[in-house]
A = this chain, B = another copy of it.
Amino acid sequence: MSFFEQYAQIRKHTEQICLPLRTEDYVVQPIVDVSPPKWHLGHTTWFFETFLLLPFAEKYQVYNADYNYVFNSYYETIGNRVIRTDRGNLSRPDVNEIYQYRAYVDEAMLKLLQDPISSALQELLQIGFNHEQQHQELLLTDIKYILGHNPLFPVYHSAETKAKRETSNLREMISFTEGVYQIGHTGEGFCFDNELGRHKVYLQDFSISSELVSNGEYLQFMEEGGYGNFSHWHAEGWDWVKNNNITAPMYWHFIENSWYNYTLEGLKPVDPDEPVAHISYYEAYAYACWAGLRLPTEFEWEVAATKFNWGIRWEWTESAYLPYPGFNKAPGAIGEYNGKFMVNQKVLRGASVATPAGHSRITYRNFFHPYLRWQFTGIRLAK
């Protein structure tokens, strides 16, 4: 696929995710970690305008100089930005205006992509595509949060691809022997800077489950008092449970003696065979503790991932998000992409049902704060 086609296809996919929305759904921001859908639409557009059109497209006219202030996310290099908690307070630019902004930038981009493409531009295009795909995933999880925390539980669409475990009767622990392994990205394709620096690590003997933990298994943890026994938890996980009265995964509701969870198809009975989702690292760790096992490290995961199916839940690892040996920040604003978040976060590996096709690979390193649950996060056990 040419860059031109890729651009057109990726940008269109973002808008398709928004098709089931009503105008009002584009506007709200119920918690600080969720952004309004219209902000995602504008921000991904601003990214192409700022980092590709301005430096590369001759005589490009900025669409609206005020939009830099509204749609910058966290790039300190580029100037002031709307404080993150304020995104949901802005009714303007409105949804139509943002779609017009997209159309304007898309036209300029597609024009730019008709000409020969320098390698410097190619590199930024790759980042722009992957950036937009990351926001596609966030867009869907943010939409789920916005609809799933509305007391009317509106349906997003009526045909969510259900993430069934197909081989639950074939669960096994896959074993690996100790030794030196290679970690990190290699080869031709795109990767983020945090995957670079392929290097050796020494792993001890370990084994890892072929399957994710299911809702049914997690329910057993709940029923055996998992949320009430501090000995399974980190100290700050326990504080998090107590301060927020956590008693189940996000989106679960106990109604007339059975458990329901909000899905993109609406409120449904919890399916015991589906992999558990929307749990924090604290919960993943406590579950593993209760089960007498542990979470894998990100290195174990990367070594083992050719032996099991993955891709429907982001999988919490025991690893902290840290730079690989030789990691170097790129200069300028693009260099703010990853490095500055490398403290107090946990690595997740894999991908989820919300990840766009083509936006996952075995070396991909996702990362979140340990308390976050609004992503499709899950648990794979190791020992």
Contacts and interface: CB of A to CB of B under 8 A. Distances in A.
Contact of A91 (B25, B86, B294): B25
Given A151-B66, A344-B370, A24 B92 contact: yes
A94 B23 CA distance: 8
Contact of A323 (B66, B91, B318): B318
Most B-side CB within 10 Å, residue of A199, A294, A325, A346: A325
A4 interface: no
A281 to B, nearest CB: 7
Interface in A75-102: 76-77, 82, 86, 88-95
A54 interface: no
Report copies per complex: 4
Given A200-B202, A235-B74, A93 B152 contact: yes
A284 to B, nearest CB: 11
A89 B341 contact: no
Contacts of A323: 294, 318
Interface residues of A, number: 67
Contacts of A30: 86, 89
Contacts of A38: 24
B322 A91 contact: no
Nearest to A233: B340
A251 to B, nearest CB: 16
A215 interface: no
Nearest to A183: B202
Contact of A23 (B23, B238, B340): B23
A76 B241 CA distance: 14
Interface in A1-38: 22-30, 38
Interface string A221-241: 000000000110111111000
A94 B24 contact: yes
A360 interface: no
Contacts of A318: 322-323
Nearest to A323: B318
B342 A234 contact: yes
A238 to B, nearest CB: 8
A200 B235 CA distance: 29
Nearest to A235: B340
Interface string A363-383: 000000010000000000000
Contacts of A28: 27-28, 88-91
A325 B91 contact: no
Contacts of A151: 66, 69-70, 82, 90
Most B-side CB within 10 Å, residue of A86, A238, A343, A370: A343
A134 interface: no
A341 B234 contact: yes
Contacts of A325: 204
A334 interface: no
Given A22-B91, A22-B92, A344-B370, 7 more contacts: A22-B94, A23-B95, A28-B90, A30-B86, A74-B235, A82-B151, A92-B150
7 contacts: A24-B91, A27-B91, A88-B89, A89-B150, A199-B202, A237-B343, A281-B343
